[in-house]
Amino acid sequence: MIETAQQTARTLAGIDAYTGTWGYKEVIHLLRRTMFGAVKTDIDYFLNKNMLDSVDELLDPSSFTPAPPVNNYNSGRLTDPDIALGDTWVNGPSNAGLNNARMNSLRSWWTGRMIHQDRSVLEKMTLFWHNHFATEMAVYRDPIFGYRYQQLLRANSLGDFKKFVKLITLDPAMLVYLNGEKNSKRAADENYARELQELFTLGKGEGSKYTETDVQQAARVLTGYRINRTTYEGYFNPNLHDVDDKTFSSFYGGKTITGKSGADGEKELDELLDMIFDKEEVSKFICRKLYRWFVYYEIDAAAETNVIEPLAAIFRNNQYQIKPVLEALLKSEHFYDVVNQGAKIKSPVDYSVGLMRQNVVDFPDENNLVEQYYMWTIVSQVCALQQQNIGDPPSVAGWQAYYQYPQFQEIWINTDTLPKRNQISDVMMLAGVSRSGQKIIIDPIAVAEMFSKPDDAATLVQDLINYYYTLDVSTDQKEYMKSFLLSGQSASYWKDAWDDYQADKTNNTLKTIVNTRLQGLLKYLMNLAEFQLS
C-alpha cells in the first residue's frame, strides 16, 4: 500500500507586500481570518481604506484589557456573600463554593468578548495563544487563575514572545495545570519542562533535537516555583530549588546552567530561556503555528522557504516581537493569494460566533446582564458541542485540528459535528433561543436590509453568496436559491412583496410573506458545505 495525498495547486508567493486589487474578496478574506466572521459593516469600512491601513488598524486594538467578567450568578439558589450582582469577582476573595459559577461566568464573558469584538485581531490572537499555551479550567479549577491566565494571553498577544513564555511559566493556572507548583528538588516533575520545549517554543520539527536529558535538566532548573494564593501570583521558593549544576545535550552545545542557591536560583529560568531562544527553530516553530492559524494547515516546501523562513527572520530581528510578524504575514502577497482564500474549514468558534456576527444577531444588553451572560453561554455551549470548549481544550497540545496529521482541520467536520452545525444554524434561523423575555434569533429581514438591492431576487442571492461563501455556485444552483424567494412566480413577485413590506413595516401579514421566504433561503445557504469554509 502506498500513502497518497491529493495534490492541489499551491502558491510560490512570498511575503512581499500585496499590491493587487483591494476589493470585496480581499477584505472579506482578511476579516474572516483575523476576526470571527466578516460582518457587512466592517467589510464596507475597510473597503474605504487601503490594504496597508486596514492591516495596521486590525493590529492596533483599542484596548487589551476589556472590562472584567461580573457576578451574573446571584439568584435564589446561589448568593455571593462578597460580590454583588453586576460587580466583578476577579479580584476575589476566592470562594470554593462559587468556583463553578464563576468559571461559567468567565467562559460566558470570554465568548461575549468574541461576539462583540472591535475591529481588531485581539480576540483571534487570544484564542490562538490559548490553543498554544493550552490549559484546562477543569484541571486547575480556579476562576481567578482562569481570568488572570486569559488576561495574560490578551495583554501579550501581540507583544514580546520571550517575555510571554516567562510569564506563562510563572502563571498560576499553568503552574497547576502542568504541575510546576509541585516540581521540587527532591524528584523533579518533568511535565512543564517537556511541554515548554515540545509545545511552547521548539516543537518537534526537523530542527528540534532536544533530548530526554534536556527535559530532565530543564525540569531541575524549574524546581521551586509555587503559587501565592493571596496575590494569585507565582513566586520562587529557593528552599525547594535544585542548586546543583544542570548540563544540557549537544543540541544546546552542552551548556551548563550553574546551580544557584538563594534568590539567585530564579535567574536560572532566564538562562534556560536564553538558551532555548538561541535556537532559530523557536522562531520557525511559532511562525508555522501562526501560518496554520491564519493561512492554511499545509506548509509545503515553497511556503517554508518563501514565507516561514523570512517571517522567522523578522521575528528574530525584532527580538521576538509578535506584531511585526503578523504585519508582514497579513500584508503579504502570499496571504492574499487566491489559493489561500476560502480553504479553511471554520473552527467551531469561527462557525458559531461568526454565525451570530454575520447575521447581526441582537444580544441582550448590560441592563439584562443575567440573560446577556446566559445567551453568551449558549454560544459557548454550541462551540463545545462541536468540540471546541474554550477554556478547556482537549489537552496541553490544544485542539487536534491545528496539529494532527493528516486530517488537521477536517477533524472539525464529521458525521457527528456536521449535523450539529446544521441544527445550530437552523435553530438560530427558525426558533432562536429565548429566556425571560429575551431572545437571540437571526432576523432574515435585517440581514437582507444590509444589502443594496434586496428587492431584486437575483442580486440579493448573489450578494448573499458573496457574503457567506468564498466560492461561487452554479447558475442552476442560483436559480434554485432564487426559487425560495419567488415561490414559482416571476422576479417581480418578490419585488412587490418586498416593496409592500417596506411601505408598511407594521403589517404582520406583509412581514410574514418576506420573512418566511428569506428564512428558507438563508437556512439553505447556511446548510450547504460552502458555508463551512472560511
Partner 1 sequence: MKRRDFLKTTAPFATLPVLLNGLPIHALGSPDTMNVLSKAFVNTDHVMVLIQMNGGNDGLNTVIPTDQYSNLSKARSNVMIPLAKALVMDGVDGTSLHPAMTGMRNLFNDEKLSIVQSVGYPNPNFSHFRSTDIWHTASDSDEALHSGWVGRYLSHEFPNYPMGFPNSDMPDPLVLQIGSVVSTVCQGVSVNMGMAISDPSAYYQLVTGNYTPSPKTNAGKELDYIRQVAGQSNEYGQAVKTAGEKGNNKSTKYPTAGENSLADQLKIVAQLISGGLKTRIYVVNINGFDTHASQVSATGGTETGNHANLLSNLSNAIDAFQDDIELLGLKDRVLGMTYSEFGRRIMSNFSLGTDHGAAAPMFLFGTSVKPGILGDNPTIADTVAVNDNVPMQYDFRSVYASVLKDWFCLENTEVDSVMLKTHQTLPLLKDTCNTNSSTRNELRKSGDAYVMNYPNPFSHSTTIRFESTGGHILLQVFNPQGQIIDTLVDSEVPVGEHSVAFTANNLAPGTYFYRYQNGEIQQTKPMILVN
Q: Residue 191 CB, nearest distance to partner 1 (Å)?
A: 4
Specify the residue, 166 or 478, whose C-beta has the smaller distance to partner 1: 478
Residues 305-344 that bind partner 1 (CB under 8 A): 338-344
Residues 247-266 that bind partner 1 (CB under 8 A): none
Q: Residue 321 CB, nearest distance to partner 1 (Å)?
A: 28
Sign, CA dihedral 369-373-376-378, equals negative
Q: Residue 353 CB, nearest distance to partner 1 (Å)?
A: 19
Please tell me whether residue 418 binds partner 1 under the rule CB under 8 A. Answer: yes
Please tell me whether residue 410 binds partner 1 under the rule CB under 8 A. Answer: yes
Please tell me whether residue 527 binds partner 1 under the rule CB under 8 A. Answer: yes
CA distance 529 to 534: 11
Please tell me whether residue 413 binds partner 1 under the rule CB under 8 A. Answer: yes
β-pairing, 233-236 vs 225-228, is antiparallel
Could you tell me where the beta strands, DSSP code E, fall in 81-142?
A: none
- The alpha carbons of the chain give a radius of gyration, in whole angstroms, of 25
Q: How many residues form the binding site for partner 1 (CB under 8 A)?
A: 77
β-pairing, 438-440 vs 246-247, is unpaired
Applying CB under 8 A, among 18, 161, 296, 351 the residue interacting with partner 1 is 296
Omega within 30 of 0 (cis) for the link into 454? no
Applying CB under 8 A, among 53, 245, 274, 416 the residue interacting with partner 1 is 416
CA distance 331 to 194: 35
Applying CB under 8 A, among 135, 352, 358, 409 the residue interacting with partner 1 is 409
Residues 41-80 that bind partner 1 (CB under 8 A): none
Specify the residue, 27 or 345, whose C-beta has the smaller distance to partner 1: 345
Burial class (CB in 10 A: 0-12, 13-18, 19+), 208: middle
Side-chain-facing half-sphere of 113: CA atoms under 13 Å: 26
Q: Residue 72 CB, nearest distance to partner 1 (Å)?
A: 25
Burial class (CB in 10 A: 0-12, 13-18, 19+), 185: middle
Side-chain-facing half-sphere of 447: CA atoms under 13 Å: 28
Specify the residue, 8 or 509, whose C-beta has the smaller distance to partner 1: 8
Please tell me whether residue 100 binds partner 1 under the rule CB under 8 A. Answer: no
- Which of the ranges 26-34, 355-363, 446-454, 466-474 carries the binding residues for partner 1, by CB under 8 A? 466-474
Please tell me whether residue 406 binds partner 1 under the rule CB under 8 A. Answer: yes
Cβ distance 376 to 115 under 8 Å?
yes
Please tell me whether residue 8 binds partner 1 under the rule CB under 8 A. Answer: yes
Specify the residue, 443 or 530, whose C-beta has the smaller distance to partner 1: 530
Q: Residue 322 CB, nearest distance to partner 1 (Å)?
A: 24
Q: Residue 43 CB, nearest distance to partner 1 (Å)?
A: 19
Q: What is the DSSP string of 229-263?
A: TTTTEEEE-GGGS--S-EE--GGGTT-EE----GG
The three cell numbers locating residue 185? 528538588
Give the position of cell 454550541: 382
Residues 473-502 that bind partner 1 (CB under 8 A): 473-474, 476-477, 480
DSSP lists the bridge partners of residue 160 as 321
Applying CB under 8 A, among 79, 231, 261, 407 the residue interacting with partner 1 is 407
Cβ distance 266 to 235 under 8 Å?
no
Specify the residue, 345 or 440, whose C-beta has the smaller distance to partner 1: 345
Q: Residue 12 CB: number of other CB atoms within 10 A? A: 11
Applying CB under 8 A, among 160, 298, 362, 500 the residue interacting with partner 1 is 298
Residues 359-388 that bind partner 1 (CB under 8 A): 385-387
Please tell me whether residue 237 binds partner 1 under the rule CB under 8 A. Answer: no
Binding mask 165-194 for partner 1 (x = CB under 8 A): -------------xx--xxx-xxxxxx--x
Q: Is 471 left (phi over 0), alpha (psi -120 to 50) or beta?
A: beta
